[in-house]
A = this chain, B = another copy of it.
Amino acid sequence: METRELRYFVAVAEELNFGRAAQRLGIAQPPLSRAIQQLERRLGATLLDRTSRSVTLTEAGAVLLAEGRAALDAVEAAERRTRRAALPPTGRPGLVLVTKASASRELLAELLDAYAAEPGAVPVDVILCGPGEQERLLRQGRADVALLHRPFDSTAGFHTEELSTEGQVVVLPAGHPLTLRSHVHMADITGLPGLPLPRWPGPDGSYPPGPGPQVRDHAQLLQLVALGRACAVSPESCRTQLHSDLAAVPVLDAPKVTTVIAWPPHLRSRAVADLVRTATGLR
């Protein structure tokens, strides 16, 4: 199977429309139809059920969509990492680290400082991204290491080392009655009148149904809390980033949040190993 065929199939499977998929791929529709037919013939599998009005995935098609995306990510990672390895060492980022924009600045700063002090340290580029994007960046080879937060982020398919664990707090508008309490429980804050918990997008970018405002990142969320439109349960370390119009109260029975450092398993570079060792040795 060639990556071209995979790319074509993924495009059609995502659009469920040959014309639009062809447009997205920058080719005409007939060659695309033919390519998919040939792929189906070679696999001995019907991937799409097509009538002249609609296209739907078969069971096999759904499998190929999931596996094909992973395979294309792997190919892209190979290409990207090779390109980077070939750059002249001057100015080339030795490591690309990705973390959520909302993550604790302290831990990151501490890690970068400690690593920079190591003998043989290479320059580290930092990418900040929204929740849920790190995984893809790692898998596509755009980044080498990530700081992830269990249980929010999936560590599927990566090597990880735990760095720290912390409890969670509920973030409320300053002056809310609950802010007088020394601590609360989850039951105290679910269904708080006028302050629903927000909804985060799933892996496919769509939001689950239900009440609560839709948010894409932590800054949006804090904005909503300050506006009195939501409340948020976040790791303790976010307290250092709260403005005075927000208050935080520990939630005793919220799940603990573990910060882990994660990297693709087959990445066997000295720099990654050093960084991980530095990270695990921090405390």
Contact = CB atoms under 8 A, between A and B. Distances in A.
Given A70-B266, A71-B75, A81-B63, A46 B4 contact: no
A85 B71 contact: no
A33 to B, nearest CB: 19
Interface string A235-263: 00000000000000000000000000000
Contact of A59 (B3, B85, B266, B268): B85
Interface string A50-85: 000000001110111011111101110111011101
A31 B256 CA distance: 57
Interface residues of A, number: 44
B82 A45 contact: yes
A47 B78 CA distance: 13
Interface in A172-189: none
A266 B1 CA distance: 19
A123 B156 CA distance: 26
Contacts of A46: 86
A32 B159 CA distance: 35
B45 A85 contact: yes
Contacts of A66: 266-268
Q: Closest 7 CB pairs between A and B? A: A156-B265, A45-B86, A67-B78, A71-B74, A60-B86, A60-B85, A74-B74
Given A64-B81, A74-B74, 8 more contacts: A1-B75, A2-B2, A60-B83, A60-B86, A63-B85, A71-B74, A71-B77, A75-B75
Interface of A: 1-4, 6, 43-47, 58-60, 62-64, 66-71, 73-75, 77-79, 81-83, 85-86, 141, 154, 156-159, 264-268
